[in-house]
Amino acid sequence: MLDAQAMAQISETSVAVELETSDMTLNIGPQHPSTHGVLRLVAKVDGEVITDVRPILGYMHRGYEKISEVRTYPQVIALINRIDWTSGYANEIPFVVAAERLMGIEVPERAQWIRLILTEMTRISAHLLFMGSFPLELGATTPLMFALRDRERVLDVLESVTGGRFHPNFNRIGGIKPAAGAGKEQKKLTQDLPAGFFTETEAAMDGVIASTDQLEKLLRKNEIFVARTKGIGVLPPEVALSYGVTGPNLRASGVPYDLRNETDYLPYDQVDFEIPVGTEGDSFDRWWVRLAEIRQSANIVKQAIQKVPSGPLQAKVPKIIKVPKGETYVRAEVPKGVMGYYLVSEGGQGPYRVKIRTASFSNLSMLPWILEGVIVPDLLAVMGSLDFVLGDVDR
């Protein structure tokens, strides 16, 4: 007969021998529905714990940088809407501003304010999509319905101005679109905002703010949501900075870095807004920062509506746009983070070279770091909280 101590020793040893399993390689994707596109992950799994993750990109590569070299400027603006399809309008801004700076065009104030309003509305719609998709990845379907309901309202206002819900294609070099195209008589006249735009937008913003309260009430104290997000996927600020993470993901880690405060591509200095900053840098903070940003953006839009001056929408530009020789780099704060266009012009009708820096690519680059030590069921929860779009990653 063995005594209890020896018994325990033997069973512990046998357990240790039993658990000495080899690492399993788990292939995830490239068609996983929860990854906002086609991303392939090759994960080394030890039991349930992920030890190493290798993201494999390129399934959504559409070659926008190369195709921009053989297209004219108006055509490029139509194409770059599709880089990050959740924030089509915001993608246009840095490119258009880059071309305007090379040409030395002063954009009329009214056009700048309308750009600002529409950019913030795009930010709201992109974040509202996250408010729906992230809880959905954790198994909650109700927030998706509520978020999409209010997102539709914002997109409806966007469509009434630009004619497109996802791909507005509303910016032109020198201002915003001169002819919206609808209407038999006035087609070639300069088209402005449709009547009733300001009241409609204000009502939509009130709806959005009410919706964020509703979403917060649903999720902030929800036991399952809190258990699955608090303290999971923690991203320390120094790691985030070293990987070049930008946008809400960086601000959730506690770094108050927002390009809207730093550069002057749009008149953000004339509106009051706060930059919501997280404390822990976990999945919950990333959700909360985006929720707070929706409120701030709605406030920005409400202020901007009061400040839109009357005046022209277009600066004087030649009919066939030729950008003089030179190069420039313009960054902007799009919903996912910092987006930049390095534009090289040789004086032709189209760019000579465009290098696009997208936010999602840098945000995804720290995926191996953040997923190390995370268990498999939390994989999608962490990835969902980073809110990347694969079209934005692969361009």
Whole-angstrom Cα distance, residue 169 to residue 160? 13
| Residue choice 159, 202, 216, 280 for contact with another protein (CB under 8 A) | 159
CB of 224 to another protein, least distance (A): 7
Is residue 141 near another protein by the rule CB under 8 A? Answer: no
Euclidean distance between the first and the last CA atom of the chain, given in angstroms as a whole number: 69
Residue 249, SS3 per DSSP: helix
> Residue 102 or 161: which CB sits closer to another protein?
161
Is residue 191 near another protein by the rule CB under 8 A? Answer: yes
Is residue 136 near another protein by the rule CB under 8 A? Answer: no
CB of 8 to another protein, least distance (A): 23
Q: Site residues for another protein, window 222-241 (CB under 8 A)?
A: 222-224, 226-227
Show Cβ contacts of residue 287 under 8 Å, excluding neighbours closer than 6 positions.
130, 131, 134, 219, 229, 385
CA distances from 260 to 288, 297, 309, 319 (A): 19, 11, 21, 31
Residue 237, SS3 per DSSP: helix
Is residue 203 near another protein by the rule CB under 8 A? Answer: no
| Residue choice 115, 177, 295, 357 for contact with another protein (CB under 8 A) | 177
Residue 264, SS3 per DSSP: coil
CB of 288 to another protein, least distance (A): 18
Of 55-63, 184-192, 287-295, 364-372: span binding another protein (CB under 8 A): 184-192
Is residue 327 near another protein by the rule CB under 8 A? Answer: no
| Residue choice 56, 179, 203, 375 for contact with another protein (CB under 8 A) | 179
Residue 32, SS3 per DSSP: coil
User: Considering CB under 8 A, how many residues would be counted as binding another protein?
Assistant: 46
Sign of CA dihedral 386, 391, 392, 393: positive
Contact 280, 173 (CB under 8 A): no
Q: Site residues for another protein, window 282-321 (CB under 8 A)?
A: 310
Which of 371, 368, 378, 297 is CA-nearest to residue 335? Answer: 297
- Residue 374: how many CA atoms within 13 Å on its side-chain side? 26
DSSP 51: E
CB of 207 to another protein, least distance (A): 11
Is residue 79 near another protein by the rule CB under 8 A? Answer: yes
Exposed, middle or buried by CB within 10 Å (0-12, 13-18, 19+), for 13?
exposed
| Residue choice 5, 17, 63, 188 for contact with another protein (CB under 8 A) | 188
Whole-angstrom Cα distance, residue 231 to residue 294? 23
DSSP 105: P
Determine the distance from the C-alpha atom of residue 127 to the mean position of all C-alpha atoms in its chain, rounded to a whole number.
7
> Residue 52 or 200: which CB sits closer to another protein?
200
| Residue choice 38, 61, 74, 302 for contact with another protein (CB under 8 A) | 74
Is residue 184 near another protein by the rule CB under 8 A? Answer: yes
CB of 212 to another protein, least distance (A): 15
Of 23-31, 180-188, 253-261, 368-376: span binding another protein (CB under 8 A): 180-188
Binding stretches for another protein (CB under 8 A): 71-72, 74-75, 78-79, 142, 149, 152, 156, 159-164, 167, 169, 177-188, 191-198, 218, 221-224, 226-227, 310
